[in-house]
Structure 1
Amino acid sequence: MHCLTKTGVRLFFILALAFLLSGGCAGKRAANINEARAVRDLGEAYLIQGSYSRALQEFLKAEQLNPRDPYLYNNMGLTYLALDRPESAVLSFKKAVNIKSDYAPAQNNLATAYMATGNWDEAIEVLKLLSEDLLYATPHYALSNLGWAYYNLSNYDAALRYYNRSLRHEPRHPPALRGQAMTFSAMGRMSEALRSADRLTTELPQNDAAWMLKGEILEKMNQKEEAKKAYEEALRTAGEDTAMKDDAESALRRLK
């Protein structure tokens, strides 16, 4: 039986210590990840409740524990959007996508954040790739966002094309119906705009913005009595939205 030399014993000890330390680090990392997930879950609860500042506090804590969590950065991005900080949202969504390149919801959210900053071309670049992803389960979101980007660039033909594609995937998708109505109206195709607005108010009968849009289209068509009814519905469904109430009341005064 061979005996270990002093050098061999020392080497054996160093290797054993390294093994124990590496195992300890791995255990610590696993503990951090579990703790980070719990903190992230708490932040999600605050996000759902609309407590955005408290949500962000928890997400920042979770980031310190696990800075490689794409779902955390997606949540952070949504929180920054809710806090009207779209530039910070862009950075968070980018981190999510850089960590998980096939994270489709984060890609769509990144495009939304780009649009919130007025970077329409960057949004279109992201959304086109996403809309062509055959594994993306909800392409109507990306397609309707593409429609919105092109609408804001006054490229109404392209906007309408993408809204129509979105509605082929999901015929009752409200953002696409709204965008389609607005695009038809901008193009002067008022009868088609009204049909889209009718479908929108059918899908969202308690949505003040839907009724407001319908009223604006009817007013442009000089159908004043029907426009008044739509504006009255917008006023009725506005709830605590004082800005919408003011818009609806202003429209009704205009039609007197």
Structure 2
Amino acid sequence: MDFKEAYAKGTEALKENRLEEARSLLETALKLKPNDIYTMNKLAMVLKEQGEFTAAEELLAGCLEVKKEDLYTNYLLGNTYLEQGDVDKAIETLEKTVKMNPSDRYAVNSLALAYRMKRDYEKCIEILEKSLQSNPNDMYNKVSLATVMFEIGDAPAAVRLAKEILKKEANNVSALVLLGRISIEEGSYVTAQGHFNQVLSIDANNSEAHYYIGRICLETSTLEAAREHFSAALLYDADKVSILKNLGMIFLDKGMYSEAEEQFAMAVNLSPDDAFVLSNMGKLLVLQGRLDDGIIYLKKAIEVQSDYAFAYYNLGKAYQEKRDFPNAIYNLMFALNFEPDDVYAINVLGRMFLDVGLNDRALRTFDQVLSEFDAEDRYAMLGKSDALEAMGQAPRAKEVLMQLKKIAGADKLLVEKIEGRVTRMNKKG
């Protein structure tokens, strides 16, 4: 097999997503013609798709040594950094690409996406709007702009942009999906279903449409139909793990624990080192009372991502359920080390200090919430009152409760709780 044949067959295999075959053929082509940047770029694309980001980076860096100003290589390298989550490097690389060719709409889009990932929505919007000023008919970037507007809460602008797109391209699936998503957010399920049905009339295998119709079916209590559409979404989407994560979280939020476990289990099977999946599987098992199993998953999540505050928090809660307070406190403190502004976790830690009789530590913890985050945090005020009472300072405890009662307003349950505690303290004298 000569270079031309190996390259052509490798390119065709890549187009058809036959990654192993594409890799073998492109590696053969590269041996036959070393330093061919087209082959190197295509092979880097395969490696990126296979999750071998470091190898892809090295190959692309090699391309740039051969041809320093190669636009496509810079573009691929920027996207490789993006997929790895190295947003700053992605921005640096893509800025260079866009500077070399400001009309490259794909590079512009990736650069905007990088700023979006950095949560710099202002810069993201600026880039997309500037691109559209140069080319108003660029529907690719217009869809991205509409999506970003929706994400920042400007639904009217998103709808306006989506409708402008559909005037130009009546079958623009991305715009229709976006309108459907907006309708779901507004609770207009019939309208949303109409948009997604239109998508499926254009592309029966559209995974997004199936996924969102599945969500609508869940909301309208048609579970069997939801399952059918979710199954179709999984069938047609290459990124099955992301779909499974989303489904797991949806079922978890709805208290449908067996369904959530099914989705997370499949996700773990496909991606055993995904900290998000492992942590949420652990949380789910803890919620079901399967504490030891949950702890195993949460520990695995921390092994994968040692700074994952969410996993530490849930591990702390699991140990709290087991009444293993030393381990509970230990893990909660780790969670706060990585997410020091997590007020909910600070309050839970304060309550744990109370549970083990560390009343002074509990008081300081609740005071931290009230002084640093929210002077009217109800949970912290109740905790502070309990800590003061436990320390034998009932008058001060009642003062805090009276302050809380003023804040409670029409919250009858909270008022009753406050009055019950005051009555109890008064009886104690």
Alignment TM-score, normalising by the size of structure 2: 0.46
CA distance in 2, matches of 1:94, 1:244: 38
1:98 to 43, 65, 70: 65
The one-letter code sitting in structure 2 at the alignment partner of 1:155 is D
Aligned to 1:5: none
Aligned to 1:163: 128
Deviates more, 1:101-110 or 1:137-146: 137-146
The one-letter code sitting in structure 2 at the alignment partner of 1:245 is H
CA distance in 2, matches of 1:119, 1:229: 38
What secondary structure is seen at the aligned counterpart in 2 of 1:132?
helix
1:205 to 171, 193, 198: 171
What secondary structure is seen at the aligned counterpart in 2 of 1:240?
coil
Say whether residues 1:214 and 2:179 are aligned partners: yes
CA distance in 1, matches of 2:220, 2:141: 29
- Where do 5+ consecutive residues of structure 1 fail to align? 1-33
Cα–Cα, structure 1 residues 231 and 244, in superposed 2: closer, same or farther, change >3 Å? closer
Aligned to 1:152: 117
The one-letter code sitting in structure 2 at the alignment partner of 1:187 is I
Q: Compare relative contact order (CA 8 Å, sep 6+) and give the higher one, 1 or 2.
A: 1
Aligned to 2:56: 89
Deviation at 1:78, TM superposition (A): 1.8
Cα–Cα, structure 1 residues 94 and 203, in superposed 2: closer, same or farther, change >3 Å? farther
Say if 1:235 and 1:249, in contact at 8 Å, map to a contact too: no
CA distance in 2, matches of 1:79, 1:39: 15
CA distance in 2, matches of 1:204, 1:79: 33
Aligned to 2:27: 60
Deviation at 1:137, TM superposition (A): 7.3
Say if 1:143 and 1:165, in contact at 8 Å, map to a contact too: no
Aligned to 1:141: 106
Cα–Cα, structure 1 residues 66 and 142, in superposed 2: closer, same or farther, change >3 Å? same
Deviation at 1:89, TM superposition (A): 2.6
Cα–Cα, structure 1 residues 97 and 248, in superposed 2: closer, same or farther, change >3 Å? farther
Query: Residue by residue, what CA displacement relative to the aligned partner does 1:38-75 show, whole Å, maximum 9, x if unpaired?
Result: 42223112223332221110111122223211111111
CA distance in 1, matches of 2:57, 2:165: 30
Say if 1:63 and 1:72, in contact at 8 Å, map to a contact too: yes
The one-letter code sitting in structure 2 at the alignment partner of 1:59 is L
Cα–Cα, structure 1 residues 220 and 162, in superposed 2: closer, same or farther, change >3 Å? same
CA RMSD of aligned residues (A): 2.7
Say if 2:200 and 2:206, in contact at 8 Å, map to a contact too: no
Aligned to 2:271: none
Say whether residues 1:71 and 2:29 are aligned partners: no
The one-letter code sitting in structure 2 at the alignment partner of 1:112 is N
Query: Residue by residue, what CA displacement relative to the aligned partner does 1:64-121 show, whole Å, maximum 9, x if unpaired?
Result: 2232111111111122233344443323222222211121011111111111111111
Cα–Cα, structure 1 residues 98 and 39, in superposed 2: closer, same or farther, change >3 Å? same
The one-letter code sitting in structure 2 at the alignment partner of 1:189 is D
Query: Residue by residue, what CA displacement relative to the aligned partner does 1:194-219 show, whole Å, maximum 9, x if unpaired?
Result: 12223445537263x54322211233
Say whether residues 1:41 and 2:8 are aligned partners: yes
Cα–Cα, structure 1 residues 85 and 213, in superposed 2: closer, same or farther, change >3 Å? farther
Say if 2:162 and 2:179, in contact at 8 Å, map to a contact too: yes
CA distance in 2, matches of 1:170, 1:109: 23
CA distance in 1, matches of 2:185, 2:11: 43
Say if 1:144 and 1:166, in contact at 8 Å, map to a contact too: no
Say if 1:167 and 1:173, in contact at 8 Å, map to a contact too: yes
1:108 to 75, 78, 85: 75
Aligned to 1:9: none
CA distance in 2, matches of 1:217, 1:41: 43
2:156 to 184, 187, 191: 191
Q: How many residue pairs were aligned?
A: 220
Deviates more, 1:104-113 or 1:197-206: 197-206
Deviation at 1:246, TM superposition (A): 3.3
Say if 1:111 and 1:123, in contact at 8 Å, map to a contact too: yes
Aligned to 1:247: 212
CA distance in 2, matches of 1:145, 1:94: 19
- Where do 5+ consecutive residues of structure 2 fail to align? 222-429
Deviation at 1:224, TM superposition (A): 4.5
Query: Residue by residue, what CA displacement relative to the aligned partner does 1:162-182 show, whole Å, maximum 9, x if unpaired?
Result: 111222333343441232112
CA distance in 1, matches of 2:126, 2:4: 41
